[in-house]
Amino acid sequence: MYDLIVVGGGPAGSICARTAAQAGLDVLLLEKDKHPRYKLCGGALSKRVEDLLDFDIDHIIERTVSSIKLAAGYDQSSTWTREDTTGILVKREKFDQVLFQHAKNSGAETIENCRVIRVEQTRRGLRVLARGDSFKGHLVVGADGVNSIVAKTLSIREKWPADAVALCIGGEAKLSVEEMSRVITDSKGMSNPALEIYFGLVKWGYGWCFPHSNHLNIGIGCRMSQNVDLKKHWSEFLKQLEIMKGIDIDIRNQSAFRIPLGGENRRVITRRSMLVGDAAGLVSPVTGEGIYYALKSGVLAAKIATKAVREKSPLLIRTYQDQLEKTIIEELSVAKFLAKMIFKSKKTISLALEVAEKDSIIRNYMIDFVTGLKPASEMKRKMMKHMLRHHPLKAIRIGLT
């Protein structure tokens, strides 16, 4: 019987398995596909993500960016550049493979092409059923994403409410060297790649365009509760990008996917199991960024699992819920407050951009928040204080009160 079985070999599962194995636990990590596997994702990582890792990922970085473009629809935008890095771009298949390999190198047993179909409580632990096999463990961590089998079969969550999950469409557009050079060259003729985020294209959502090494990662998403024709908005977004950038965009690997939206205090444990990352709904309700929270929750779950195994007390699992509420969930609840403000209307974004253009302090707060460089709770506190002191009427109009 394993001390810990981790279901899902993405960032949350791999970092959890690695951390637990390093602590001496007998760990099994199950992944339904085989690495490297394609994963549609913007691939933008903040410095907070790098700070959580104790190993180098420079060899998989496709591009480092210091600029961000925020837009209110197609007719208003601001591009800001800072001396420090605002983000790095990676391909998720490479990033996930590196994390998975580190888990394996740390002593975790790994099995790929292993699709889990059910998890059952037993008298002394849990049984994980896969197609053609089964595994027993004292504890289980569900790192199996938005459609978590662990959550469903252990009755932690049957399904997501429509307003707690977003639907996204995205893909990649490969560019020639000349085309990419044209795309990342700014109005001054300087190479200045930027993370581009377009608010106001769709209710409770946004579009993105990130310049990787030889392709653009493009996508659009919104809350499923909005019941919008996302395909229509996707087609219009691609058309507008072609006009703005002066290139033909041929999307490959196009697919639709769901991401959960954090901010609610949901149950993420049973007596012997914990959910991490997307499976636990730990994703920013503003930007849809979840890798930082996946890594942080994975490490936390591993540490608590280690303590529970050593003390032979599965009841310690409840401390995971408590600690998660005081850290990640609290931060995401603040982000949800800001999401209500940001997605209220395109006018709100427009007004915020106007303020940021004239006020460098607000500008830096917005960059830190949108790129995930600083916690949402810290940014909300600082923005409210500064806006109420220097822009009280606009603070009221935006809803930052």
pLDDT at 189: 81
Judge whether residue 325 has pLDDT over 90: yes
**In the block, residue with structure tokens 């993405």:** 10
Cα gap 275→293, rounded to integer Å: 12
Burial of 382 per CB tally in 10 Å (0-12, 13-18, 19+): middle
Greatest Cα pair distance in the chain: 68
Per-residue burial over 187-198, b = 16 or more CB atoms within 10 Å of its CB, e = otherwise? eeeeebbbbbbb
pLDDT confidence bin for 166, thresholds 50/70/90: very high
Give residue limits of the domains in the chain. 2-41+93-159+262-337, 64-88+163-260, 344-398
Upstream peptide bond of 314 is cis (omega within 30 degrees of 0): no
pLDDT confidence bin for 344, thresholds 50/70/90: confident
Cα gap 297→303, rounded to integer Å: 10
CA distances from residue 246 to 176, 232, 267 in whole angstroms, order as listed: 13, 21, 48
What is the DSSP pairing of strand 2-7 with strand 27-30?
parallel
- Give the mean pLDDT of 285-310: 97
Measured in whole angstroms, how far is the alpha carbon of residue 2 from the centre of its chain? Answer: 29
**Is-contact 29 6, C-beta < 8 A?**
yes
Q: For domain 2-41+93-159+262-337, which architecture applies? A: 3-Layer(bba) Sandwich (3.50)
User: Average model confidence (pLDDT) for the chain?
Assistant: 94
What's the pLDDT tens digit per position in 11-58? 999 999 999 999 999 999 999 999 999 998 999 999 899 999 999 999
**In the block, residue with structure tokens 């908005």:** 233
What CATH number matches the domain at 64-88+163-260, 3.30.9.10, 3.10.20.30, 3.40.50.920, 3.40.50.720? 3.30.9.10
Q: Which of 85, 20, 24, 98 is nearest to 56 (CA)?
A: 98
By percentage, how much of the chain surpasses pLDDT 70?
A: 100
Residue 380 sits at φ, ψ, to 5 deg, of -60, -45
Cα gap 154→158, rounded to integer Å: 9
- Give the mean pLDDT of 282-302: 96
Q: Which long-range contacts (CB under 8 A, 24 or more apart) does 185-192 make?
A: 186/79, 192/66, 192/67, 192/79, 192/81
- Classified as helix, coil or strand, 58 is helix
pLDDT at 83: 85
Judge whether residue 76 has pLDDT over 90: yes
**In the block, residue with structure tokens 């977003």:** 166
pLDDT confidence bin for 201, thresholds 50/70/90: very high
